[in-house]
Structure formats: structure tokens, C-alpha cells
Chain A
Amino acid sequence: MAWPLFWITVFPGFLFLCLFAWAMEYVDRKLYAKLQNRIGPPWFQPFADFVKLVSKEEIIPTEANSLMFKLMPVLALTAVLTAFMHIPLWSSKPIISFEGSVIVVVYLLTLPTLAFFLAGWSSSSLYSTIGAVRTLTQLFAYEVPLLLAVLAPALVAHTWSLGKMVEFYGAHPLLTLPNLIGFIVALVALQGKLERVPFDIPEAETEIVGGTFTEYSGRLLGLFRLAIDMEMVVGASLVAAVFLPFGFSLGPVAGFVLYLVKVLFVVFLLALLRTVTARLRIEQMVEFCWKFLAPAALFQILLSLVINRIV
């Protein structure tokens, strides 16, 4: 049997990622509702939303660039799936592992944002153009802190490979404690990448209707929503692998359960951040990221360099 094909399509590939993404969207929405003293949706709601979207008619505006319009959801989905292959989930050997996989993962996670921009741009509608421009402006704000925060633990571990990083921290668990600042910076920057409140400026419903996704409907919108859910899972797994590298040598079953617990914890923090803040304006967001997040990330890098010298 061709094992790589099984890994890519079923587990931990496409099928597993789909189901896990829907489960995490349910957890996020249920937590959001419970924190607001409401009941919230039933467990099958994300799947029901997907089925409903896929069964509706696709309307492509005449001024839109039809090829790009249809290609962008597929591009976003592919990039997210490929990134998931590189992340160590419960053992220190992800499906694909090589020196430099940290940088490749962060790069692959940038591709969905570019896909959102191109989707909004090729829709050539007023609201989607404004949303597309805001997506790119936001990218310039959170990308640098995210990259720096994720690279800081790599500096201490003397390696660019995610698998080797996890092994290093398994051998020296106490060295994860100085990475706390990086953990917080990475969480806030991840909220920006996922375009959720307080950073959901590109898709601000009350200002520009749907932002980049205004003209999308039907199957294409369903694929975009699925890509966004998967992006949350991949981002949370990356943060869990880099900043919470515990239990990677406990064997497959215990390791898998611990992985689920870690991702749930990260999703809980993201949902809490979503609940207690209001949406920022684009220039306030850029100001916040460059005034607070980037210096914090730089401080973390400095700390990691110092530890690098000592260890």
C-alpha cells in the first residue's frame, strides 16, 4: 500500500484535517457562546454550514477575472494542507521533515493571505477591493512579529527543523520557560493571521459587507471557509509544537491525546481573545503591531540569543 498517499489524503492529511477543522470551529463557536452566556450551536453546525454552502448556486460577477476567482479557494486549501504535513503532531517525526521546515511552514501559511488578497482583487467589486487592500496592509503588520516569535525557540535549539526542535526541547524541558513572551506574541499575531476580532478588519461585516469574500457564494465560499478553519488548526498546531513541546516521546496514542489537549488549549485562548475585545481600525492595528508586538518579539530573540550563548 502506498503509505504516503494514505498519509496525505486520510490521516493526518485531508480527511482528518477536515474533520478536525470542523470540530475546532464547533469548539470555538461554543466557547464564544458560553462566554457570552448563551447556548451556542449544536455539534454538527460547521458541517451543516459547509453542506449548505456547497449545495447553493455559485454566482461569478461578469467583471471578475473568472479563472483567478475560481482558483483562489483551491490555492488557499492546498497551501494549508501542505503546511500541516510539516508540523510534528505527536511524535518528533512529521510526515515531511528537513532543515528549514520552520521557515517553510510560516511561508506556506502566508499563501492563504495572498489568496484572500487576490480573491478580493479579482472580484473587482468596490467592497472586495477595499477588503483586499486591508488584508495586505494587515499582513505587513503581523507577519514580522509572527516570524520572529516562531524563530526564537529555533535559535535556542540550534536547528531550523521542527522535528529536531521538538527533540531538543524534549531533552531540555526547562528551556521552554523563557519562550513565554514569544508564546504571547505568537498568539496575538496568529489572531491577526486568522483575521479574527480584534483583527478581523479585512472582513469587517458592519463596514464593508463581506470584505474580500463579498462576491463569493456557493461552493467557492464553502472552500474558503474550510480553508480558514484549517488555517486555525494548522496555526494552533504550530504554536503548540513550538512553544508547548511536551510529551512527544510518550508513544503514539498518549501523544495524540496530548496533542488534542494542547490544540484545545490554544483554541480556548484564541476564543477568549475574540470575546473580550472590539475590532481595531487598520491604522490602529498597524500601530499596535509595530509599537508593541515587534519590540516584544525582538526582545524574545535577544533573550534566545543570550541563552544560545550560554547553552
Chain B
Amino acid sequence: MCLGIPGKIIEIYQSGGLKMGKIDFGGVTREACLEYIPEAKIGDYTLIHVGFALNIISEDEAQETLKLITEIAEIENESDAQ
């Protein structure tokens, strides 16, 4: 486990008493349940697993991680060059 894919919330609505959303995965859309991320807004990116949003993806953390990793990767390039 577990197949969780990031997608963007493009619509929010109620269905069967549950907070649901239309999620955009790079051009492909599917419905998902947003009950577990009550604070979600349109435009948020979320992790979807079996039709449920499990969390909102933090853009800040994502940037931070990538920056760190890129630095590590660049240190390598510098060391190689020396």
C-alpha cells in the first residue's frame, strides 16, 4: 500500500451527505470524498487514495524538500568537478 496520487481540487459539492470534490489529475478527472480534509478549498492539491482525499499537499514543504535534494545533487556535481 498504497496507491495515492496527487490531484487538484477543481470543484467541491455535497453528495449523499458527504463533502465531495472533482479532482483533476493532469487532465483526467475523478470524484473523491473530501470528508477527511474539511478545510480544503478549490485549487488545493490533495493526495487521493481509493477515492478519498487523505491530506492537503503542502507546497511549502514540497519546495523545501526539492530545494534540499537539489542542493545535495549539486554538491555532488561540484565534488565531481573538483
Mutual binders A and B: no
Chain B contacts to A: CB under 8 angstroms:
none
User: Chain A interface (Cβ within 8 Å of chain B)?
Assistant: none
